């Protein structure tokens, strides 16, 4: 019988969902909602906060501890240090209560390893009594209902009908977050991908694990946002989906590049504003092929996003490669022409500067190296297309360059990784070249000198007169602030005076 539980949030980072501060992901919220349903007294703590208080923290007062962590697309984090399964084991090795693992690290499709090659973590998983390979909230619900581990299916997934209650009840956890109220709630809209019709991209787990899209109703999403807003949350990202332009598309189970459902998307974002007044409302993923091949509908969607979302918004394009041989070998679908057209459309509609100091809606580009068919020419091809985007006067908010990871169930093998390792120097050269010759110039275009960025949140003190901060939102720009009198946790308006390769330098101004 579980009467008291602890959620230990080690953070998550996936292609369709962030849970690293300043974000709070869906896993702890949904889990808290289930525990609340069964009247379990539940505490919540982030791994960073736990490390601070570990010596005085009594784990034995809990009947169960739910550990959450895992990555598909690990990145660099300014003010957070995610947990690994190894660390969880070191924390709980003397704990005798029920040990439950959730998040990507609990599945075959994720890992807790943040850098380097993915390792076999089965020995760490075996330490836990319950490993939720399906949905953590579904497994928790069954466990609390049945009262026995032996009677539950660790692989079970929940439906969106079932999720309604968990999502609403789970909003209460946000006030237990150490960064409250300065956290961004990641909001789920749908799961699965239309690319499952042909197997999906070679490296991606989404279509393999979740199949074709299953959409969450607009009303349910709006109600969750209202509940979060009532708890004091003012920052939201509608980010947990493969492509926001494809939300509720009627062609989602028939076409790999489905036509956008303009009416449903407007209903969703208008509904959000009817129940809240968010300081930040952003999106994440968008398929450039959908935007380019359904131009009329996509233009309407882009206008909706500009109308209802706050400025500084980014539509992350999963380009992966501009090399047509790599595109074909990895079933990527999106062509270079699709990307150029989609970049043009978003620049035309979203390029106007908004109240935050940034343009309303710009594209970002993700490039992935180590894919099948990659060759030396791939690097030159990718660079030339990035240069063409810049030379044509377009803006990109970010260029994300990373190497592929061979997750379970994908077509990427260790053999592919070994081939990529032989091109490691070329990869590092390419990354440096983009940072020097594209990123720096693009930053100057997106944020010209003299631009005033409003509400930059001061997060880190580097030395006596240098601080680092960011605006709240999706893929915020790192701002170095030269000042002697700032406080961690305050908001300041900053005038841009200089540039790094991917960061900017500013001075505090009073408007």
- pLDDT at 279 exceeding the cut of 80: yes
Give residue 430's Cα distance to chain centre.
25
Q: Hey, where are the domains in the chain?
A: 4-161, 181-446, 451-508
Helix axes 376-391, 424-434, angle to 10 degrees: 10
Do 313 and 350 touch, CB atoms closer than 8 A?
yes
Which residues have a Cβ under 8 Å from the Cβ of 79 and sit 6 or more positions away? 21, 22, 459, 460
Q: pLDDT band for position 414 (50/70/90)?
A: confident
Q: Which residues contact 499 (CB under 8 A, 6 or more apart)?
A: 440, 443, 444, 505
Q: What's the CATH code, domain 4-161?
A: 3.40.50
pLDDT value at position 108? 81
Task: Report the run of H or E that residue 8 belongs to, with start and end.
Answer: strand 4-14
Per-residue confidence band for 117, with pLDDT thresholds at 50, 70 and 90: low
Main-chain phi, psi angles of 181, to 5 degrees: -90, 10
- pLDDT, mean of residues 274-279: 97
- Dist CA 338 CA 321 (whole Å): 12
User: What is the average per-residue pLDDT within 13-37?
Assistant: 93
Averaged confidence pLDDT in the chain? 94
Residue range 451-508 forms a domain whose CATH class is: mainly beta
Distance CA 481, CA 484 (A): 9
- Give pLDDT tens digits for 7-24: 999 999 887 789 999 999
Q: Give the model's pLDDT for residue 116.
A: 53
Q: Is the confidence at residue 159, as pLDDT, over 60?
A: yes
Q: What percent of the chain has pLDDT over 90?
A: 83
- Taking 70 as the threshold, does the pLDDT of residue 78 lie above it? yes
State the pTM of this model: 0.95
The string of pLDDT tens digits covering residues 292-318 is: 999 999 999 999 999 999 999 999 999
Average pLDDT over residues 355-375: 96
Task: Say which CATH topology domain 181-446 has.
Answer: pyruvate-formate lyase- activating enzyme (3.80.30)
* pLDDT > 80? residue 100: yes
């Amino acid at each position: 019988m579980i009467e008291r539980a602890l959620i230990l949030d080690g953070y998550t980072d996936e292609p369709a969902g962030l849970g690293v501060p300043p974000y709070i992901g869906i896993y702890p919220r949904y889990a808290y909602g289930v525990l609340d349903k069964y009247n379990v007294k539940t505490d919540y703590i982030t791994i960073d906060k736990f490390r601070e208080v570990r010596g005085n923290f009594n784990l034995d007062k809990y009947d169960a501890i739910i550990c959450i962590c895992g990555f598909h697309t690990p990145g660099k984090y300014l003010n957070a240090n995610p947990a690994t399964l190894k660390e969880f084991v070191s924390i709980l090795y003397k704990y005798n209560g029920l040990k439950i693992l959730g998040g990507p690290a609990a599945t075959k499709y994720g890992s807790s390893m943040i850098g380097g090659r993915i390792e076999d973590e089965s020995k760490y998983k075996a330490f836990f009594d319950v490993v939720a390979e399906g949905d953590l909230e579904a497994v928790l619900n069954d466990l609390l209902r049945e009262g026995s581990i032996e009677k539950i299916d660790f692989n079970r997934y929940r439906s969106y009908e079932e999720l309604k209650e968990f999502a609403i009840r789970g909003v209460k956890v946000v006030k237990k977050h150490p960064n409250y109220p300065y956290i961004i709630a990641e909001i789920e809209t749908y799961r699965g991908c239309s690319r499952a019709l042909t197997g999906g991209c070679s490296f991606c787990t989404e279509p393999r694990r979740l199949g074709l899209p299953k959409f969450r109703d607009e009303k349910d999403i709006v109600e969750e946002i209202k509940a979060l807003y009532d708890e004091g949350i003012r920052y939201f990202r509608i980010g947990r989906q493969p492509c926001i332009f494809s939300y509720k598309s009627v062609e989602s189970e028939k076409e790999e590049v489905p036509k956008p459902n303009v009416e449903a998307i407007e209903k969703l974002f208008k509904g959000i504003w009817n129940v809240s007044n968010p300081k930040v409302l952003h999106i994440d993923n968008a398929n450039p092929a959908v935007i380019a091949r359904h131009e009329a509908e996509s233009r309407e969607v882009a206008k909706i996003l500009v109308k209802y979302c706050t400025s500084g918004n980014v539509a992350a394009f999963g380009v992966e490669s501009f090399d047509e041989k790599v595109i074909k070998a990895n079933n990527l679908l999106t062509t270079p022409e699709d990307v150029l057209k989609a970049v043009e459309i978003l620049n035309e509609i979203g390029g106007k500067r908004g109240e935050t100091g940034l343009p309303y809606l710009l594209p970002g580009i993700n490039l992935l190296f180590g894919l099948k068919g990659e060759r030396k020419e791939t690097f030159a091809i990718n660079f030339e297309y990035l240069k063409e985007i810049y030379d044509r006067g377009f803006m990109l908010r970010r260029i994300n360059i990373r190497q592929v990871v061979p997750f379970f169930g994908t077509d990427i093998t260790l053999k592919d990784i070994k081939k990529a390792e032989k091109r490691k120097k070329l990869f590092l050269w390419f990354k440096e070249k983009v940072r020097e010759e594209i990123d720096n110039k693009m930053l100057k275009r997106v944020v010209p000198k003299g631009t005033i960025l409003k509400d930059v949140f001061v997060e880190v003190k580097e030395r006596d007169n240098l601080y680092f901060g960011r605006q709240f939102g999706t893929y915020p720009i790192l701002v170095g602030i030269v000042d002697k009198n700032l406080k961690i946790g305050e908001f300041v308006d900053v005038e841009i005076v200089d540039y790094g390769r991917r960061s900017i330098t500013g001075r505090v101004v009073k408007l």
